[in-house]
Amino acid sequence: MTTLDTIRMGIIGCGGNGRGHLHCYVNDYPGVVEIVGLADPSKAAREQAWEMTGKRPGVKVFASHETLLKRTRPDAVLISTPHVFHTQQILDSLAAGCHVLAEKPMVCSAQDAKAVIAATKKADKILAVGYSRRTMGPYLYTKRVIESGEIGDVVFVSCWQSQNWWASQKGTWRQKLALSCGGQLNDSGSHLVDIILWMTGLEPETAFAFQDNCGTEVDILTAASVRAKSVGAQGGALMNFSVVAKSVNFVEDITIWGSKGTIAIRQDGEVWRWESDQKQWKVPKRQLPKSRRPDDNFLAVLQGKEREIAAPVECGLAVMRLSEAVWKSAKSGKPEKVR
């Protein structure tokens, strides 16, 4: 891959999340990222984004991503749009010769994920997914501990996430199935699914789940139990995922039990470890790797300063395979294979 000194960037999707990425590029990467185009069907969103660039004449503004790609020929694009549009926008961007940073979930189905993986290989471009936990210190530390074998074979995982999503997203595209392709499991819950699979290296085989839409078109509450393959652990490993979108607060909690120890990530990124009832401790913050954003990693790889994308295209397939099994089980009322 040819490295880039200056990265000509297009923003596809100028809503609040897209503008958050734009803020990063404009304020933290002057002289490195050149914003060449903004695309969004909403005129108000486009104008807010343009204002963030200082209303520079060189920044072109469009209603469609197709026009942005054709008229500005960017080196890379950030995609932050309703989930259902991701697949086509990714495919179009790759075909236009762009590297892509796509917000989560990458796509809406395992089938689409496979199509995107094939297109990424054909285009010989980078596709990164915005799974932010993969570049944060507590999760990087936990993954390294598990890979080192310090806690032995992973035998059980319990994780949960709560958020005031049912109330805060009422009336928005996120609770419209035709645009979001799913509820909280597919939104913030997507982060939880990805980070557990990444940190543990487990391969889910079977899922059994209950879900409640709480009067909406999409899943609001998810209780899912998963059996996974585990190298070394006899009988594999078990995992429990609890995704609670009808809550008054945001809290996320992860505990991973190994055959020789336990490690947990608590609220605010505290990492705890146990080797016995008598030996337990909170890991000092100074021992945790530095936290960054997916954007920092993406841009560093394009510049040739780093070699690996933190959340590559394959993770989008892994998340969708498990998510589809959970949705299927919740409908059928029986365990479903992860395919």
**Cis ω before 105 (30° cut-off from 0):** yes
* Predicted pLDDT at 231: 61
- Helices and strands (H, E) in the chain, number of each type: 11, 15
Query: pLDDT per residue over 286-308, tens digit each?
Result: 999 999 999 999 999 999 999 99
Closest CA to 128 of 76, 198, 204, 178: 76
Output the furthest CA–CA distance in the chain (Å, rounded): 65
Superfamily of domain 7-132+296-304+307-311: NAD(P)-binding Rossmann-like Domain (3.40.50.720)
Closest CA to 156 of 171, 166, 170, 146: 146
Q: Is 133-269+317-337 in CATH node 3.40.50.2000?
A: no
Q: What number of other Cβ atoms are within 10 A of residue 111's Cβ?
A: 13
* Predicted pLDDT at 232: 60
Instruction: Provide the whole-model pTM.
Output: 0.96
CATH 3.30.360.10-classified regions of the chain: 133-269+317-337
* Predicted pLDDT at 236: 86
Q: What confidence category does residue 152 fall into, taking pLDDT thresholds of 50, 70 and 90?
A: very high
Percent of the chain with pLDDT over 90: 96
Query: pLDDT per residue over 257-279, tens digit each?
Result: 999 999 999 988 999 999 999 99
* Predicted pLDDT at 230: 64
Query: pLDDT per residue over 14-33, tens digit each?
Result: 999 999 999 999 999 999 99
Within 8 A by CB and 6+ apart from 44, the residues are none
* Predicted pLDDT at 314: 97
Asked if pLDDT for residue 6 goes beyond 90, the answer is: yes
CATH 3.40.50.720-classified regions of the chain: 7-132+296-304+307-311
Task: State the Cα–Cα distance between residues 181 and 189, nearest whole angstrom.
Answer: 13
